[in-house]
């Protein structure tokens, strides 16, 4: 019979470890952006140049629960809206991202602006800028303190504000896309203390690409790759392969280099509404732990199509 006190102690210890990784010295570890498995449907969160590229207003909401069953594990909620605006070639987007891990909570409000030029009959090149406001909460009072009345852990951090900017470029045709972006350019220190380490915002470089093959009139195949680079953290490479049947059903699998395997399922309820679900299973030692039931992610996306002729078939990216 398992000892429940031992399980609670381990969860508290893990939450403390996660927190320590977030706020340890920036020269060794760095804070990273939220992680997504279904990044191919949430591109505007990592690349501002994507804003407005779908040709109509698009609204997406995403929830991710990482390492299910583990107290203090990361959770992420994202809501974004983006659309073409006014003058031809301009796009605007607004995103809210809430990221929680252990006693820390971050909320980012992003405003994205893009400008698109036609480079060929089918190709479009977009340039994007992002302006961000970050609010950071840290509840030191939620930590189990081994040294009672430790003065460095007596004051919580409440809504610590820091601004940031980002930029990106994005090229696409009806079948191919490629993007490069840095959503957070300023390496902002969230807090500093002579007795407490520094949590700083490091630059995350994103490279994303994908291609859609029409295997037959009813079946499409799309491989995608997302690469993320950040100082002080291992290179992250996500590769996925997705199949779309009859422009409605999507089945796929993904591999996060040396980290996780994923299964993806999607369904177009209509030409406007997409529901996507992903499940990750760690292939590290953490994935073999009895308390880790994997990671779960769900996304809803709705496209406000003004006319039927504006949407020949559901976009696969």
- Residue 221 sits at the vertex; the CA angle it makes with 223 and 43, to the nearest 5 degrees, is 50
Q: Quick one: CA torsion of 305, 85, 50, 30, rounded to 10 degrees?
A: -130
- Residue 22 sits at the vertex; the CA angle it makes with 207 and 5, to the nearest 5 degrees, is 125
Gap between the Cα atoms of 86 and 82, Å rounded: 13
CATH of the domain at 43: 2.40.160.40
Q: What percent of the chain has pLDDT over 70?
A: 77
> Among 124-133, 167-176, 303-312, whose mean pLDDT is lowest?
303-312
Q: Which residues contact 34 (CB under 8 A, 6 or more apart)?
A: 45, 64, 76, 78, 97, 99
Total-model pTM: 0.83
Residue 316 belongs to some domain of the structure:
no
Partners of 268 in beta bridges: 274
Q: What is the predicted pLDDT for the residue at 12? A: 42
Gap between the Cα atoms of 39 and 225, Å rounded: 10
Residue 283 belongs to some domain of the structure:
yes
Q: State pLDDT tens for residues 43-64.
A: 999 999 999 999 899 999 999 9
- Confidence at 13, pLDDT banded by 50, 70, 90: very low
Residue of 114 and 195 predicted with greater confidence = 114
Q: State pLDDT tens for residues 203-235.
A: 899 999 999 999 999 999 999 999 999 887 889
Residue 179 belongs to some domain of the structure:
yes
Residue of 303 and 198 predicted with greater confidence = 303
Residue 317 belongs to some domain of the structure:
no
Q: What is the predicted pLDDT for the residue at 32? A: 63
Q: State pLDDT tens for residues 235-263.
A: 999 999 999 999 999 999 999 998 899 99
- Confidence at 287, pLDDT banded by 50, 70, 90: low
Q: What is the predicted pLDDT for the residue at 72? A: 82
The answer on pLDDT for 140 being more than 90 is no
Cβ neighbours around 57 below 10 Å, total? 18
The answer on pLDDT for 312 being more than 60 is no
Distances (CA, A) of 160 to 27, 163, 213: 21, 10, 47
Partners of 97 in beta bridges: 78, 108
Residue 109 belongs to some domain of the structure:
yes
Q: State pLDDT tens for residues 267-282.
A: 999 989 999 999 999 8
- Region 130-134 average pLDDT: 95
Q: State pLDDT tens for residues 71-83.
A: 888 999 999 999 9
How many domains does the structure of the chain reveal? 1
Residue of 317 and 28 predicted with greater confidence = 317
Q: 179: closest CA among 121, 112, 98, 259?
A: 112
Domain interval for residue 138: 4-310
Gap between the Cα atoms of 220 and 248, Å rounded: 11
- Region 190-194 average pLDDT: 52
Residue 315 belongs to some domain of the structure:
no
Residue 117 belongs to some domain of the structure:
yes
Residue 252 belongs to some domain of the structure:
yes
């Amino acid at each position: 019979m398992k000892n429940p006190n031992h399980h609670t102690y381990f969860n508290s210890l893990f939450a403390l470890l996660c927190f320590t990784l977030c706020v340890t010295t920036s020269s060794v570890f760095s804070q990273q952006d939220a992680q997504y498995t279904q990044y191919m449907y949430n591109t505007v969160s990592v690349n501002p140049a994507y804003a407005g590229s779908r040709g109509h207003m698009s609204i997406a909401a995403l929830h991710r629960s990482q390492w299910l069953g583990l107290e203090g594990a990361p959770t992420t909620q994202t809501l974004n809206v983006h659309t073409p605006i006014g003058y031809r070639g301009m796009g605007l987007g607004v995103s809210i991202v809430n990221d929680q891990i252990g006693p820390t909570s971050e909320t980012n409000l992003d405003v994205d602006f893009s400008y698109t030029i036609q480079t060929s009959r089918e190709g479009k090149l977009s340039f994007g800028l992002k302006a961000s406001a970050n609010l950071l909460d840290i509840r030191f009072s939620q930590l189990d303190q081994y040294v009672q009345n430790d003065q460095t852990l007596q004051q919580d951090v409440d809504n610590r504000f820091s601004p940031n900017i980002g930029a990106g470029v994005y090229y696409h045709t009806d079948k191919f896309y490629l993007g490069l972006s840095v959503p957070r350019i300023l390496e902002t220190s969230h807090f500093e203390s002579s007795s407490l380490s520094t949590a700083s915002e490091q630059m995350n470089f994103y490279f994303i690409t994908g291609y859609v093959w029409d295997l037959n009139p009813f079946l499409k195949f799309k491989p995608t790759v997302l690469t993320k680079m950040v100082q002080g953290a291992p290179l992250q490479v996500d590769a996925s392969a997705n199949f779309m049947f009859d422009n409605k059903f999507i089945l796929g699998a993904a591999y996060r280099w040396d980290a996780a395997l994923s299964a993806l399922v999607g369904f177009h309820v209509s030409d406007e509404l997409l529901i996507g679900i992903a499940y990750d299973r760690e292939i590290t030692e953490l994935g073999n732990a009895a308390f880790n039931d994997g990671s779960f992610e769900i996304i809803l996306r709705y496209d406000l199509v003004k006319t039927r002729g504006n949407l020949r078939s559901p976009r696969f990216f």
